């Protein structure tokens, strides 16, 4: 499943242990205010970095496996 821009859905799936892998795309944008990706998580996600990819526009894609 791919979820774009919904931290609350990600948090619910993480707490239910439904996430096997996680990809984060980081854009080089500075914000004054924002919302954390993982707000109010109950369970700790232990992530293992598997792959990184950088793009010419400055975007970085990070791929993680979730350790169980």
In this predicted structure, what is the pLDDT of residue 44? 82
Q: pLDDT category, 4, cuts 50, 70, 90?
A: low
**pTM of the complete model beyond 0.85:** no
What does the domain layout of the chain look like in residue ranges?
Answer: 7-32+39-67
pLDDT tens digits, one per residue of 14-65: 888 888 998 988 888 888 887 777 778 888 889 999 999 999 999 999 999 9
For 9, what's the count of Cα atoms within 13 Å in the CB-facing half-sphere? 6
Can you tell me the distance from the alpha carbon of 10 to that of 33, in angstroms, rounded to the nearest whole number? 20
Look at residue 9 and give its three-state secondary structure: helix
In this predicted structure, what is the pLDDT of residue 55? 96
């Amino acid at each position: 499943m791919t979820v774009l821009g919904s931290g609350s859905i990600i948090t619910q799936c993480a707490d239910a242990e439904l996430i096997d892998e996680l990809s984060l795309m980081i854009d080089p944008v500075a914000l004054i205010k924002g919302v954390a990706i993982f707000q109010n998580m109950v369970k700790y996600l232990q992530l293992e970095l598997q792959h990184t990819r950088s793009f010419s526009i400055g975007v970085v894609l990070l791929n993680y496996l979730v350790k169980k």
